[in-house]
């Protein structure tokens, strides 16, 4: 594309412009070959729009071949239009108002990504009815503030995108704030704060109607204050939709902090297959971790504290291990559900009864007089859970430790705690687990606990405990915590400080 040079209507620039790349000065003509005139015109347009091109200052990553400094929306648009591998587009402080989506179509490489980032000390803000849309591969968005009114998108043509260190507080007109449809994306150390309308903070989806983004990694993000008051559609994180429930995504949601996420009873909603939800902290929230659809998902080592949070399981071949659910007043803290269909093949939105599910080595504690620590089945469902194993969990409730309403081929093994039980006669023992809150406010067994060394099952999938410490081959401890002097990789609940946020 040619750019008209401001001040010379009807004429195109022919000026030669030099760029500094690495330690060499290269002219546009030299880079563009036969298209030197058009390339020179583009360079002049960038310069007159307020774009400065220079070598990266000392300390910058060696992969940033050019640093392009912009200070206005026009300059940003111009820089993106001619971006190439190794460009670092640095945005100065101020507002960048976009009327329509700014489509980032260029691609970087694994060693020379295209980076759009805040300049050092700056907090550039994307405003307006437009948004950023990443269509190219190896593109990084870093350190921006989004208050615009349209979903920020990583489309299905974009692979290896990174969205890091950004602050999202989109206008309420934006239904979903960040949508990821591209494979191998990384969403890290962002903040999503303050939503009161329907829609989600973060949605992982696919391109085609039957596709899901593959291998998305979501880690060390902060999600807070979702207050949508409707009955459905206000999740913090959603991986998939009902129509794609059987598609394996292999998305990992780990080490995130969610606080006061009350827009839906599902804080982390899984509607696809083969995903991992681990080591997340959900605090003071209505929302739960819900395996709403799909199969072969893993929920491991999460800390769910206070509020009315919990874990809900539907679908086939799900695994729920090493989680702590405590001080919640939800009526069923861990719920293994029935439904209106078994082995759904129509990709409908009915609840699919849970089949072949393992619930093991979790610690569930509530003093609520209206709560059940672990519940299987529901008398009102047409289909009931089948082949569910509940093993070596600590279950403590001020009302009911466990309730088996409906289900077939259910195995209760090695569970212990306090509270009444309904619907089964074996597999649970009332015992003094001697739990006490640690410095992070999480219940753990103390000296003399009946849980120590009392597990019955070996369960190879539970080789580690909630802290990442190795469990012994025999005489494992019941519940999420294995008392150990080994080095731990995950101990305390996540905080804004532990996420590196101010």
Beta strand pairing call for 125-127 and 95-97: parallel
For the record, the structure tokens of 56 come out as: 């990266």
Residue 310 has pLDDT above 80, yes or no: yes
Average pLDDT over residues 418-438: 94
Q: What is the pLDDT of residues 213-231, one digit of tens each?
A: 999 999 999 999 999 998 7
With the C-alpha atoms ordered 42, 48, 49, 53, is the resulting torsion angle positive or negative? positive
**Cβ neighbours of 387 (radius 10 Å):** 16
Instruction: Look at 411 and 13; give whichever has higher pLDDT.
Output: 411
How far is Cα 501 from Cα 487, in angstroms, rounded to an integer? 25
Q: How confident is the model at residue 501 (pLDDT cuts 50, 70, 90)?
A: confident
**Cβ neighbours of 95 (radius 10 Å):** 13
- Strands (E) in 71-122, as ranges, are 87-91, 95-97, 102-104, 114-118
Which of these ranges, 182-186, 258-262, 353-357, 373-377, has the smallest mean pLDDT? 353-357
Q: Find, among 428, 440, 439, the residue nearest to 396 by Cα.
A: 428
Residue 47 three-state SS: helix
Average pLDDT over residues 233-242: 93
How far is Cα 244 from Cα 441, in angstroms, rounded to an integer? 38
For the record, the structure tokens of 492 come out as: 């305390």
Q: What is the pLDDT of residues 476-485, one digit of tens each?
A: 999 999 999 8
How does DSSP assign 368-436, residue by residue?
Answer: -TT-EEEEE--TT-SB--EEEEEES-EEEEEEEEEEE-S-BS-EEESEEEEEEEES-SSSEEE----EE
Instruction: Look at 468 and 22; give whichever has higher pLDDT.
Output: 468
How far is Cα 123 from Cα 226, in angstroms, rounded to an integer? 24
Q: How confident is the model at residue 358 (pLDDT cuts 50, 70, 90)?
A: very high
**Cβ neighbours of 382 (radius 10 Å):** 12
pTM above 0.85, yes or no: yes
For the record, the structure tokens of 77 come out as: 């648009």
How far is Cα 356 from Cα 333, in angstroms, rounded to an integer? 20
430 neighbors 418 (Cβ within 8 angstroms): yes
**Cβ neighbours of 118 (radius 10 Å):** 20
Q: How confident is the model at residue 285 (pLDDT cuts 50, 70, 90)?
A: very high
Q: What is the pLDDT of residue 209?
A: 83
Residue linked to tokens 């090493």: 322
How high is the mean pLDDT of the chain? 87
Residue 40 has pLDDT above 60, yes or no: no
How far is Cα 202 from Cα 199, in angstroms, rounded to an integer? 9
Q: How confident is the model at residue 26 (pLDDT cuts 50, 70, 90)?
A: very low
Residue 427 has pLDDT above 90, yes or no: yes
How far is Cα 438 from Cα 490, in angstroms, rounded to an integer? 13
Instruction: Look at 191 and 5; give whichever has higher pLDDT.
Output: 191
Q: Find, among 49, 84, 89, 86, the residue nearest to 69 by Cα.
A: 89
Residue 5 has pLDDT above 60, yes or no: no
Instruction: Tell how far CA 6 is from the center of its chain.
Output: 45
């Amino acid at each position: 594309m040619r750019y008209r040079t401001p001040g010379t209507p009807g004429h195109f620039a022919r000026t030669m412009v030099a760029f500094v790349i690495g330690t060499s000065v290269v002219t546009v003509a030299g880079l563009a070959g036969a298209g030197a005139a058009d390339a020179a015109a583009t360079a002049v347009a960038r310069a007159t729009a307020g774009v400065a091109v220079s070598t990266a200052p000392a300390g910058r990553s060696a992969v940033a071949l050019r640093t392009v400094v912009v200070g206005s929306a026009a300059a940003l648009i111009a820089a993106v239009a001619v971006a190439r591998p190794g460009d670092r587009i640095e945005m100065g402080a101020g507002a960048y108002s976009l009327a329509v989506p700014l489509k980032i179509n260029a691609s970087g490489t694994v060693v020379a990504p295209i980076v759009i980032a805040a300049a050092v000390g700056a907090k550039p803000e994307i405003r307006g009815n437009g948004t950023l849309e990443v269509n190219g591969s190896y593109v990084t968005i870093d350190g921006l503030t989004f208050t615009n009114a349209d979903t920020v998108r990583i489309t299905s043509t974009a692979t290896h995108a990174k969205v890091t260190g950004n602050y999202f507080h989109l206008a309420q007109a934006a239904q979903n704030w960040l949508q990821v449809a591209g494979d191998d994306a990384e969403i890290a150390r962002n903040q999503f704060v303050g939503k009161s309308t329907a829609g989600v903070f973060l949605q992982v989806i696919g391109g085609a109607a039957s596709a899901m983004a593959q291998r998305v990694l979501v880690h060390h993000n902060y999600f807070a204050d979702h207050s949508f008051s409707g009955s459905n559609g206000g999740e913090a994180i959603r991986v998939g939709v009902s129509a794609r429930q059987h598609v394996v995504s292999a998305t990992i949601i780990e080490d995130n902090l969610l606080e006061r996420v009350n827009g839906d009873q599902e804080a982390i909603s899984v509607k696809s297959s083969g995903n991992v939800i681990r080591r997340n902290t959900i605090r003071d929230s209505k929302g739960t971790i819900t395996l709403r659809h799909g199969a072969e998902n893993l929920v491991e080592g999460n800390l769910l504290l206070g509020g009315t949070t919990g874990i809900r399981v539907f679908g086939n071949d799900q695994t729920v291990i090493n989680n702590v659910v405590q001080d919640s007043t939800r009526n069923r803290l861990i719920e293994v559900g029935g439904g209106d269909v078994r082995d759904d093949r129509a990709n409908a939105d009915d609840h699919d009864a849970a089949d072949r599910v393992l619930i093991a080595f979790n610690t569930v504690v509530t003093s609520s007089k209206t709560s059940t620590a672990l519940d299987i089945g529901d008398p009102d469902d047409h289909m009931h859970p089948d082949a569910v194993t509940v093993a070596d969990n600590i279950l403590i409730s001020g009302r009911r430790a466990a309730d088996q309403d409906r289900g077939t081929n259910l195995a209760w093994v090695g569970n212990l705690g306090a509270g009444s039980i309904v619907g089964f006669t074996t597999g649970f023992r009332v015992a003094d687990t001697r739990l006490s809150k640690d410095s992070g406010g999480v219940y753990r067994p103390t000296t003399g606990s009946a849980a120590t060394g009392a597990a019955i099952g070996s369960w190879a999938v539970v080789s580690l405990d909630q802290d990442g410490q190795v469990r012994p081959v025999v005489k494992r401890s019941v519940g999420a915590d294995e008392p150990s002097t080994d080095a731990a990789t995950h101990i305390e609940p996540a905080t804004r400080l532990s996420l590196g946020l101010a």
